[in-house]
Amino acid sequence: MTFALTPERESHLAEILSRYPNRMAATIPVLHLCQEQNGWVSEEIMEWVAHRLGISAAHVKGVATFYTLFNKEPVGRHQVWVCRTLSCALNGADALLHHCEKRLGVHVGGTTKDGSVTLRTAECLAACGQAPMMQVDRDYHENLTLADVDTILDRLTRS
């Protein structure tokens, strides 16, 4: 295995492991830590996590493939998640999503040619009172209009 955490992340790993009663319980935060460094969770990373935690690779793969927040393939520098749950849908999420697809030139699940943005959908981002909304990386953008979306996407595609 050639994957290795940076020294800073190794320190964070030790801190993570100290908070859990057993190593299996730390699977999700350790996968997040690896994804923060690599951008996605490859088969190699899943094997590394299993080896490092002393648990089965099947368990790690089961966790990584179950949760949609783990990228199983390379993604853009930024990820745009458009919420599609009832509140957002009733307030224009479909139009917002189609606008994003047109502006970015990709369909849901795709990454722009320049590698700047991956477009995704989410079933709920827990901001129902501020619909429609989307999450960009870790930031929420709520009560969106198409003009707001244009401003956000312009900023992402320039960075």
Question: Residues 28, 63: contact at Cβ < 8 Å?
Answer: yes
The angle, 0 to 180 degrees and rounded to 10, between the axes of the packed helices 43-53 and 27-38 is: 140
- What's phi and psi for 117, nearest 5 deg? -140, 135
Residue 69, pLDDT score? 84
**Count of structural domains within the chain:** 2
Q: Examine the fold and report which residue of 66, 101, 117 is the final residue of a domain before the chain moves on.
A: 66
Give domain status of residue 90, yes or no.
yes
Q: Are residues 84 and 151 in the same domain?
A: yes
pLDDT means per 10 residues in the chain (159 residues)? 91 97 97 95 97 97 93 94 95 96 96 95 92 95 96 89
Q: Are residues 91 and 46 in the same domain?
A: no
Q: Using DSSP, how many helices (H) and how many strands (E) does the chain show?
A: 7, 4
Residue 136, pLDDT score? 96
Which of 89, 94, 126, 121 has the alpha carbon at shortest distance from 108? Answer: 121
Q: Are residues 50 and 105 in the same domain?
A: no
Q: Are residues 37 and 105 in the same domain?
A: no
Q: Are residues 43 and 101 in the same domain?
A: no
In terms of residue numbers, what domain contains 36?
7-66
Give domain status of residue 52, yes or no.
yes
- Residue 136: which H helix or E strand, with range? strand 134-136
Q: Whole-prediction pTM value?
A: 0.79
Residue 1, pLDDT score? 56
**Residue 24: partners with Cβ closer than 8 Å, 6 or more residues away:** 53, 55, 59
Q: Are residues 49 and 84 in the same domain?
A: no
Q: Are residues 130 and 153 in the same domain?
A: yes
Give the type of residue at 80: V
Residue 28, pLDDT score? 97
Give domain status of residue 42, yes or no.
yes
Residue 158, pLDDT score? 82
Q: Are residues 61 and 27 in the same domain?
A: yes
Q: Examine the fold and report which residue of 66, 87, 115 is the final residue of a domain before the chain moves on.
A: 66
Q: Examine the fold and report which residue of 36, 66, 96 is the final residue of a domain before the chain moves on.
A: 66
Residue 128, pLDDT score? 92
